[in-house]
Structure 1
Amino acid sequence: MATLELQVLDWGNEPPASLRLIYEEAFPIEERRPWEELFGTEPWEHITWLITLDTIPVGFAVGWELPSAHYFEYLVIDPSHRGQGLGSKVLEILSYKYDNEYPVVLECEPAGYTPMAERRLDFYARHGLHPLPFAYKQPPYGEDLPWVELHLLSNRAMDSCSYEQIRSEIHRLVYKVTE
């Protein structure tokens, strides 16, 4: 039986170049943090896990421990390993690690955006992550990029006050946008 592991990457390390190509193909430029910000030589505030299957790198996940939530910015799995339950297992491991102290939240494109967005929404829904009923825009990752209409998904229902606090933390701490 294959062994799936998540290993924390220290700053200054990065996953194999093949995973960079997968990341760049999986996310449009307006939803993609520059690689150098994810894996540059400067210390970072996020946590990155290299996902290995029998020691072979097959993906990575990027998360932030915010004051009010556990925010996951990316989950990337090599397409040649999709459909084997690896993404489900990764979410299971991360959920166990964070044992519901705070809500888990992430961004996802709205239904109808692309076929990939539909698959992502279905995948996250199977794992108890559902769109919150509040409008959400992802701040731009660069000067020439637009704000992007997305859903903020969570494993918990929340009122508008809790949502607003988490949205504000994501914008301020992850995207460095002051309001």
Structure 2
Amino acid sequence: MMLQKRFDQVFEIMKQSFPEAEYREYSEQKKLMSSSRYLLLTEENEQNEVIGFLAGWELESFRYVEHLAVSPNIRGGGIGKRLMDRFMKQSAKPVILEVELPEDEMKRRRIGFYERLGFCLGDHSYIQPPLRAVRQQTLSLQIMSYPAKLTTTEFEMVRKLLYKEVYGAPSVYAHTYNS
């Protein structure tokens, strides 16, 4: 499938699946496609249309899942689990992801999905830096890790690397959000 069409389909699912604050603007998201560390796994239907995707990062000491989403009308059919399994089996490195705080049923179900895959919910407070220049507010999230829960030292290393590599946040910025 043409890369442009595939990217557009991924971006459309992203827009349907996440609040605007949780993904980059189109041009910024598309720029990531040229990074060797940015990974995009997709699942297509018989018509070669993207119906699910996992966007992640290959970092020095771990892999990071930035987005996992399935077309809203076909969720619950195992596509997300298949994408996560593929991503987790591609490397022996630990896998890290961010989840929203378990404040409602949907967010608790999402955490449960990852726990069933072997992820551990961390207890360190974590702030996601803004992904959009126009959005100045930050987002309180929690880190989940596989195959084991992060120690405080590991968590600090993960946070520092995510802030630098994924969010492009200067080190001064990282200190602003220390818990």
User: TM-score of the superposition, structure 2-length normalised?
Assistant: 0.82
> What percentage of aligned pairs have identical amino acids?
26
Instruction: Give the counterpart letter for 1:153 in structure 2.
Output: M
Instruction: Please tell me whether the aligned partners of residues 60 and 76 of structure 1 are also in contact (alpha carbons under 8 angstroms).
Output: yes
Structure-2 change in CA distance of 1:39 and 1:144 (3 Å): closer
Unaligned 5+ segments in structure 2 are: 172-179
Instruction: Give the counterpart letter for 1:107 in structure 2.
Output: E
**Greater mean alpha carbon deviation, residues 129-138 or residues 116-125:** 116-125
Q: How large is the RMSD of aligned CA atoms in angstroms?
A: 2.3
CA shift for structure 1 position 165? 0.6
The answer as to 2:63 corresponding to 1:70 is yes
CA shift for structure 1 position 16? 5.8
Structure-2 change in CA distance of 1:160 and 1:142 (3 Å): same
Aligned residues: 167
**Alignment match, 2:123:** 133
CA shift for structure 1 position 51? 1.8
**Greater mean alpha carbon deviation, residues 130-139 or residues 38-47:** 38-47
Given candidates 66, 72, 75, the residue that maps to 1:79 is 72
The answer as to 2:25 corresponding to 1:31 is no
Structure-2 change in CA distance of 1:128 and 1:42 (3 Å): closer
Instruction: Please tell me whether the aligned partners of residues 15 and 60 of structure 1 are also in contact (alpha carbons under 8 angstroms).
Output: no
| Higher relative helix content | 2
Of structures 1 and 2, the one scoring higher in RCO (CA 8 A, sep 6+) is 1
SS at match of 1:173: helix
In structure 2, how many angstroms separate the alpha carbons of the residues matched to 1:37 and 1:14? 17
